[in-house]
Amino acid sequence: MAQGKLIDGKQIAAELRQELKSEVATIAIRGVTPGLTVVLVGNNMASETYVRGKIRACEEVGIRSDLIRLPEETEEDTLLAEIDRLNQDETVHGILVQLPLPRQISEEKVIARIRPKKDVDGFHPINMGKLATGLKGAFLPCTPHGILQMLKRSHIEIAGKHAVVVGRSNIVGKPVSLLLQKENATVTMCHSRTKDLAYFTRQADILVAAVGKYGLITRDHVRPGAVVIDVGMNRSPEGKLAGDVMFEEVREVASHITPVPGGVGPMTIAMLLYNTVEAAKAALDS
Ligand SMILES: Nc1nc(=O)c2c([nH]1)NC[C@@H]1CN(c3ccc(C(=O)N[C@@H](CCC(=O)O)C(=O)O)cc3)C=[N+]21
Ligand SMILES: [Mg+2]
């Protein structure tokens, strides 16, 4: 049986971290250590895992990381005041408030409060707006940027190709479609209200699945030879970490495919480090 090539996000992310490590060393000569502060509110099991991964990755490349833990019942004003303090702190180049937040706190308000220059997630409306209008100097959101890096470093051509994005979230679907358009792909966006999803996905040269629904993309959704990027983070019925794509059967028709775990996730973290280093460099030059 034919097998699509694995796009090894874990491996590519490791390469990126090595590149960033030498970049950090160069900045250190000028007396600055890039600093990332992660704010974690409440007790979310998945968030604990992700935050641990981010902090370990920072250590590896020489980025100083701080973790601020706030209790589940934290009031919105308390968190906003904490962000104000971090906005003022010159040793903090990047601020990341781990999502989701407890229900009493508006994520929208919190994201808007972070200084755009420290918004290493790329979620602030200023950064999103810059991306949408093609203005320079925006932090690119980490998952979409990571996907682009995986495609480029796997020598997959984007220009002129039909990219189909399933999912329209602010964090992945919308920004990845903008980035793919910028790279001259023809982009189709699908979502939960799309009728006959397979009709659209079967036309994709590059298929990005970013819905968060186990088993959404089957062999029947994929054109032979397509490149398949799986952004989903779900549990299979057996309790294993799995994406939106039925990996084994889709791999038999795809030319390239990303696994879960070991695909998009590690790239997201690598691009967070990248943005933090960029933030520190920008602070040096200002
Ligand atoms: N402000 C904010 N920024 C984020 O970037 C952000 C967030 N909030 N909230 C949650 C999501 C999720 N996310 C992941 C990052 C890495 C992996 C990752 O490295 N996953 C590993 C597996 C990890 C495991 O074993 O569970 C992998 O795919 O190989 C997954 C998920 C970042 N997020
Ligand atoms: Mg909320």
- Indicate whether 130 belongs to any domain: no
pLDDT tens digits, residue range 208-218?
Answer: 999 999 999 99
Kindly list the protein residues that place their beta carbon closer than 5 angstroms to ligand 2, a single-atom ion.
101
pLDDT truncated to tens, each residue of the chain (286 aa)?
789 999 999 999 999 999 999 999 999 999 999 999 999 999 899 999 999 999 999 999 999 999 999 999 999 999 999 999 999 999 999 999 999 999 999 999 999 999 999 999 999 999 999 999 999 999 999 999 999 999 999 999 999 999 999 999 999 999 999 999 999 999 999 999 999 999 999 999 999 999 999 999 999 999 999 999 999 999 999 999 999 999 999 999 999 999 999 999 999 999 999 999 999 999 988 7
Domain extent for 161: 141-265
Q: Does residue 91 lie within any of the structural domains?
A: yes
**Is 208 within the bounds of a domain?**
yes
> Would you state the pLDDT for residue 284?
87
- 47: exposed, middle or buried (C-beta count within 10 Å: 0-12, 13-18, 19+)? middle
Domain count, the chain: 2
Question: What was the pLDDT predicted at 1?
Answer: 73
Catalytic residue numbers read: 54, 98, 121
Given a contact cutoff of 8 angstroms between Cβ atoms, the answer to whether 100 and 41 are in contact is no
Å from CA of 110 to ligand 2 middle: 10
Distance CA 221, CA 92 (A): 45
The answer to whether position 110 is within a domain reads yes
> What CATH number does the domain containing 56 carry?
3.40.50.10860
Distance from C-alpha of 121 to C-alpha of 51, rounded to nearest angstrom? 13
Tell me: the pLDDT tens digits for 139-172? 999 999 999 999 999 999 999 999 999 999 999 9
Same domain, 48 and 158: no
Strand partners, 245: 217
Q: From the CA of 172, how far away is ligand 1's center (Å)?
A: 12
pTM comes to 0.97
Quote the pLDDT of residue 101: 97
Is 17 a domain residue? no
Q: What is the DSSP pairing of strand 241-242 with strand 234-235?
A: antiparallel
Kindly tell me the sign of the dihedral angle through the C-alpha atoms of 140, 144, 149, 151.
Answer: negative
Whether residue 148 is found in the same domain as residue 220? yes
Q: How many other CB atoms sit within 10 Å of the CB of residue 33?
A: 13
Structure tokens at 34: 């890039």
Tokens representing 159 are 């220009």
Question: Closest ligand to 42 CA?
Answer: 2
pLDDT tens per residue, range 73-83? 999 999 999 99
User: Any known ligand binding at 168?
Assistant: yes
Q: Which residues contact 201 (CB under 8 A, 6 or more apart)?
A: 164, 166, 190, 207, 217, 221, 222
